[in-house]
Amino acid sequence: MTVMAETLPRHLLLATDLSARCDRAQDRARDLARAWKAKLTVVHALDVINMTGTPSAPIAAARRRASDCLQREFKDVDDVAWEIDIREGEPANVVLDVARERNCDMIVTGIAGNDALGHMLVGGTTASVVRKAGLPVLVVKKRARHAYRRLVVASDLSDASAGALQMGAQLFPLSLVTLFHAFDTPFRGFLDDKQAYEHGRAGLAREDAKAFVASHLPNANLDIHLAHGNLTALLAEFVVKEDVDLLLAGTYGRTGFLGALIGSAAEALLEEVECDVMIIPGKGARSDG
């Protein structure tokens, strides 16, 4: 599949809290910006919202330290156009403000401990940023030792999740892509022949998945994986077993893939899946902010 330049992100936003593990997101953002010939804006928030009465001198000193740190990190990066933006404010709001003001195409961030975005996006704030950003958010967990080679697209086969499938193929054309679809078996407890029913449901689910791929990504050569049960647990197991590099999932407002990954579903996915995760607004997704 040939990728046209206009389909690639032209401006990436790297959100960093300068914690030790943020170098993973930093390296990935730099590599993607280089591969896509995109501009890179590095954002750091000085969270002084709850620090009432804080003298200006310590804030200015914190700003200088952050600037000096980021300048050192990027001083040898001469093949990517980059700049630094340090602001005071609640970190999630700062990220969203900069992304909107600079017309960024994607937000890239890392983890600190087991929390997505460290102190930036925790719990419900994660869902809020995904919903309000209106652009893809890439949460980096693994070290960027190589380009993304194995991708999994989690899909409920709705139009809302089609964007994740299409973007995965467009951005990473050399990667092996698997469509992962988890289906349920309604009224299973009331059935006499549960095994036969599940087999029939699996057959229908596979046909639906094939039709979904043919409709949204004609002539694509990708694998289809069907599973029955809890999607988050199944994905977490599949990611480890198949050595997946990146999971892509689509959203659509407050509906779509698993309730648009809102609230606890988003937090569970980001915390339990070991690989990098890209959350992509579906067609028609809107900003609430």
Q: Does one domain contain both 104 and 157?
A: no
Residue found by looking up tokens 């593990």 in the block? 21
In a domain, 25, yes or no: yes
Q: Does one domain contain both 203 and 122?
A: no
pLDDT at residue number 199:
54
- Mean pLDDT for the stretch of residues 179-189: 67
Q: Does one domain contain both 39 and 116?
A: yes
Q: Which of 139, 165, 188 is the last residue of a domain?
A: 139
Q: How would residue 14 be classed by pLDDT, with cut points 50, 70 and 90?
A: very high
pLDDT at residue number 7:
80
Q: Count Cα atoms within 13 angstroms, Cβ side, for 67.
A: 9
State the amino acid at position 43 in one-letter form: V
> Rounded to whole angstroms, what are the CA distances from 195 to 5, 41, 189, 202, 209?
48, 53, 11, 10, 21
- Mean pLDDT for the stretch of residues 226-230: 83
In a domain, 167, yes or no: yes
Q: Does one domain contain both 113 and 164?
A: no
Q: Does one domain contain both 67 and 182?
A: no
Predicted TM-score of the model (pTM): 0.83
| Of the listed ranges 6-15, 64-73, 262-271, the one predicted with least confidence | 262-271
Percent of the chain predicted with pLDDT > 90: 45
Total structural domains in the chain?
A: 2
Q: Does one domain contain both 164 and 251?
A: yes
pLDDT at residue number 103:
96
Give the domain range for residue 189. 150-281
pLDDT at residue number 58:
83
> Rounded to whole angstroms, what are the CA distances from 215 to 155, 162, 166, 212, 247?
14, 9, 11, 5, 21
Q: Is the dihedral of CA 100, 126, 77, 45 positive or negative?
A: positive
Q: Does one domain contain both 130 and 173?
A: no
Percent of the chain predicted with pLDDT > 70: 73
In a domain, 145, yes or no: no
Burial class (CB in 10 A: 0-12, 13-18, 19+), 272: middle
Q: Does one domain contain both 15 and 135?
A: yes
Q: Domain holding 265: CATH number?
A: 3.40.50.620
* Residue with more model confidence, 273 or 122: 273
Buried b (16+ CB within 10 A) or exposed e, 161-197: bbbbbbbbbebbeebbbbbbbbbebeeeeeeeeeeee
Lookup: tokens for 240? 């480890």
Rounded CA gap, 29 and 45, in Å?
A: 18
For residue 265, is pLDDT > 60? no
| 134: phi then psi, degrees, rounded to nearest 5 | 70, 20
Residue 9: partners with Cβ closer than 8 Å, 6 or more residues away: 32, 36, 38, 105, 106, 136, 171
Q: Which of 139, 174, 192 is the last residue of a domain?
A: 139
For residue 78, is pLDDT > 80? yes
In a domain, 288, yes or no: no
For residue 76, is pLDDT > 80? yes
Rounded CA gap, 231 and 152, in Å?
A: 13
In a domain, 289, yes or no: no
- Mean pLDDT for the stretch of residues 98-123: 72
